[in-house]
């Protein structure tokens, strides 16, 4: 069982709730970083909260939900050590764990149904990083410097 940080904006709060309940039923420990209501909030705040927990080793994995799963992934990926991936189905969820060693999975409540999201999350959790030929590529991702402004 894993310790998983979960976060969402207002557009993902319902699906987050469904998935957090599912994870807890499976026996995982979930740290819910919010949001907790449908009041409008900014998705980068919750992507950052999840990502910082993962980067600090306070959570093994992260789950992020926003309307598309894209913006919150962009925010999470700004935190060094985090590899956040937006997934849409079982296959993309499995492959990003196996090939990219993704440590944060991102879903879009406006784009995917709850059942498909649950299946994708299960696939993400069941898969393992393959290493091997993927290792130098993942190392290159991690070695990229933050963009300068």
Which residue stretch of 53-61, 64-72, 114-122, 137-145 sits at the interface with ligand RB5 (rule: CB under 6 A)? 64-72
CA distance 80 to 77: 7
Tokens of 100: 């990219």
Pick 70 or 127: Cβ nearer ligand RB5: 70
Whichever of 64 and 123 has its CB closer to ligand RB5, that residue is: 64
Q: Is 66 one of the catalytic residues?
A: yes
CB 61 within 8 A of CB 105: yes
* Class of residue 86 by CB neighbours under 10 A (exposed 0-12, middle 13-18, buried 19+): buried
C-alpha 80/C-alpha 66 separation (Å) is 21
- Residue 11 within binding range of ligand RB5, rule CB under 6 A: yes
- Report which residue's Cβ sits closest to ligand RB5: 71
What is the C-alpha to C-alpha distance for residues 20 and 78, in angstroms, rounded to an integer?
24
- Closest contact distance (angstroms) between CB of 127 and ligand RB5 is 24
Q: How far is CA 121 from CA 18, 47, 78, 133, in A?
A: 11, 17, 22, 25
The tokens for 61 are 């994995």
In the residue annotation, 64 being an active-site residue is answered as no
Q: Rule CB under 6 A: say whether 47 interacts with ligand RB5.
A: no
Give yes or no for residue 9 binding ligand RB5 (CB under 6 A). yes
Of 67 and 94, the one with the shorter C-beta distance to ligand RB5 is: 67
Q: What is the Cα–Cα distance from 129 to 107, expressed in whole angstroms?
A: 20
Q: Which of 7, 47, 62, 67 binds ligand RB5 (CB under 6 A)?
A: 67
The residue within the footprint of ligand RB5, chosen from 43, 63, 84, 112 (CB under 6 A), is 43
Catalytic amino acids?
Answer: 66, 99
List residues binding ligand RB5 (CB under 6 A). 9, 11, 43, 66-68, 70-71
């Amino acid at each position: 069982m894993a310790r998983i940080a979960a976060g969402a904006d207002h557009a993902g709060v319902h699906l987050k709730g469904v998935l957090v309940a599912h994870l807890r039923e499976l026996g995982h420990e979930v740290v819910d970083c919010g949001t907790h209501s449908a009041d409008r909030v900014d998705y980068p705040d919750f992507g950052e909260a999840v990502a910082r927990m993962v980067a600090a080793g306070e959570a093994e994995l992260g789950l992020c939900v926003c309307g598309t799963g894209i913006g919150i992934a962009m925010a999470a990926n700004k935190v060094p050590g985090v590899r956040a991936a937006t997934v849409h189905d079982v296959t993309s969820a499995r492959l990003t764990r196996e090939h990219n060693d993704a440590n944060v999975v991102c879903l879009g409540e406006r784009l995917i149904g709850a059942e498909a999201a649950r299946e994708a999350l299960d696939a993400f959790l069941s898969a393992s990083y393959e290493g091997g030929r993927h290792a130098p590529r993942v190392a290159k991702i991690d070695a990229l410097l933050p963009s300068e402004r």
